[in-house]
Structure 1
């Protein structure tokens, strides 16, 4: 398999689909729909002031360690999520992949000519480090790279707030 076809998986950088991000206008209403109607469980909730979002992570009961749904609501009208909602309305906003090293994964993607939104990864959910591939370079999809914080970051974890 050639290097381009192998992508980030060639070095073991790509681990899993981490989550699917959904932009919502009302976080509490979206949580209620996903828990009461679909039966998901709320596993984490926080405000990320750096990203200007309130967010919640939900999972299928018994699969809290697997791929999750991230609900994202704007904290201010200037938030990137507020701009997304104004442009596109509520709906799928991103696809996130778990990587073992977000700095290295970002460098490898830049070597392949992709644009990333940040020069240096930023804090994400659950004290992770994140970067994003520009949607114009990823078929119109905002691709998030997530390097989880060391230690447990899924099942049984208590919520941690970013300051």
Structure 2
């Protein structure tokens, strides 16, 4: 793991919470985009040494909608920046870690991502986030 890349925070509405992150906390909005294959709209906030990723469900079948229904708004996952995500997945599996994604999938900003199952990570949902294919990252 190279670093903590971002912390994902589930929210019901990015529009409703953006003022808190910008005006109250003084963070800058980097970008907003939709990631259809994950059923989310995301807003990345500049947290200095890492980003905060606000995750809004696009529809009721979104995993984020299910998370909010069950647990409410709040921290959803912690993402580690990695290089060679396929190798990291295999390495974790050889160490007994169960993966939600056994192969990487497209994530926000063009990153390749894969999630570890929380039952293999002491109740924490961790994401591997590989941006090595993105210029300037």
TM norm structure 2: 0.95
Residues 85-137 of structure 1 show CA distances to partners (whole Å, capped at 9, x for unaligned) of 01100000000000011111110000011111112100011100000000111
Q: What is the correspondence of 1:28-47 to structure 2 with a 5 Å cutoff?
A: 28-47=15-34
Q: What is the correspondence of 1:14-29 to structure 2 with a 5 Å cutoff?
A: 14-29=1-16
Q: What is the correspondence of 1:143-158 to structure 2 with a 5 Å cutoff?
A: 143-148=126-131, 149-153=133-137
Distance 1:68 1:134 in 2: 22
Shift of 1:29: 1.5
Segments of 4+ moved more than 2 angstroms: none
Distance 1:150 1:19 in 2: 16
1:123 maps onto 2:106 in alignment: yes
Which of 39-48 and 144-153 deviates more? 144-153
1:54 maps onto 2:41 in alignment: yes
Shift of 1:45: 1.1
Distance 1:50 1:73 in 2: 13
CA RMSD of aligned residues (A): 1.0
Distance 1:21 1:131 in 2: 14
The aligned counterpart of 1:70 is 53
**Structure 2: gaps spanning 5 or more residues:** none
SS at match of 2:37: coil
Aligned length: 136
Q: Paired residue for 2:125, among 142, 155, 162?
A: 142
**Structure 1: gaps spanning 5 or more residues:** 1-13, 154-163
Residues 63-89 of structure 1 show CA distances to partners (whole Å, capped at 9, x for unaligned) of 3xx311000010000000000001100
SS at match of 2:38: coil
